């Protein structure tokens, strides 16, 4: 279940949106205007679904702890 990633506009790094590609929350969220806390710069960024992509590598454990989605 890969995390959906976005690009930090300040650092250019790939960071997790906090959503996984298979989570119901990701399927149900808006196509644009979403906000996520950025683990790279500490800010909050707006992102659109079209700008995200599934992470192919295991997410940073720190990100996982912050972004863990409860199964039910
Ligand atoms: Zn950032």
User: 6-44, pLDDT tens digit by residue?
Assistant: 999 999 999 999 898 887 778 888 999 999 999 999 999
Residue 67 has pLDDT above 60, yes or no: no
pLDDT of residue 65: 55
pLDDT of residue 28: 86
Q: Please answer whether residues 40 and 8 qualify as being in contact, where contact means their C-beta atoms are separated by less than 8 angstroms.
A: yes
Does the predicted model carry a pTM greater than 0.75? no
Distance CA 48, CA 34 (A): 6
Residue spans of the domains in the chain: they are 3-64
Two structure tokens written together for 58: 């295991």
Q: Dihedral of the CA atoms 33, 58, 70, 5 (nearest 10)?
A: 0
From ligand 1's centre to the CA of 46, what distance in Å? 10
Two structure tokens written together for 59: 């997410």
Residue 68 has pLDDT above 80, yes or no: no
From ligand 1's centre to the CA of 44, what distance in Å? 7
Residues with CB under 5 A from ligand 1 (ion): 8, 10, 38, 40-41, 43
Helix or strand (DSSP H, E) at 46:
strand 44-47
């Amino acid at each position: 279940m890969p995390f959906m990633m976005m690009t930090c506009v300040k650092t250019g790094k790939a960071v997790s949106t906090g959503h996984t590609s298979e989570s119901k929350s990701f399927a149900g969220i808006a196509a644009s205007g979403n906000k996520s806390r950025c683990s790279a710069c500490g800010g909050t960024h707006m992102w659109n679904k079209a700008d995200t992509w599934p992470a192919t590598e295991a997410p940073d454990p720190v990100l996982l702890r912050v972004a863990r989605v409860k199964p039910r």
